[in-house]
Structure 1
Amino acid sequence: MNRVLAFTSALSLFSGLVSLLVDRMVYKIQKKKKEEKYAKIFGWIQLSLAGTGFLVVLLLQLL
């Protein structure tokens, strides 16, 4: 269970970073303000979920 949650958190971290770094810049270059805004919002949501997932994994390992 811990490995699955850690793997899911790692994937969420990676996709959040891609959304913030790559997708947002592509939309910025194409001057798509609405898509850039949503890429930023969903990127931060994914990063926060990844951080929460990693904290849960650490807490489960301590128990």
Structure 2
Amino acid sequence: ISTCSITDYKFVDGRLIIDFSNGSVYEFISVPKATFQKMVNADSPARFAKRHIFTAFPWRKTINQE
């Protein structure tokens, strides 16, 4: 996760879904909406995610459905 750049992200029902430049998609579970808002408003959402989301919340790799 940490070596790829974030290309897109969205918040759906307490889940933060992040798309990465290598085509992988990860879903972070039970992320508070306030944490998502802090990520969106951060100078670097990718840096915020690396520091405050990637290791703090359970996650699973998902299939990109686009």
TM bin, normalised by shorter chain, reads under 0.3
Structure holding more strand per residue = 2
**Higher Rg of the two aligned structures:** 1
TM-score between both structures, scaled by the size of structure 1: 0.26
Structure holding more helix per residue = 1
Q: Which has the higher contact order (CA 8 A, sep 6+)?
A: 1
TM-score between both structures, scaled by the size of structure 2: 0.26
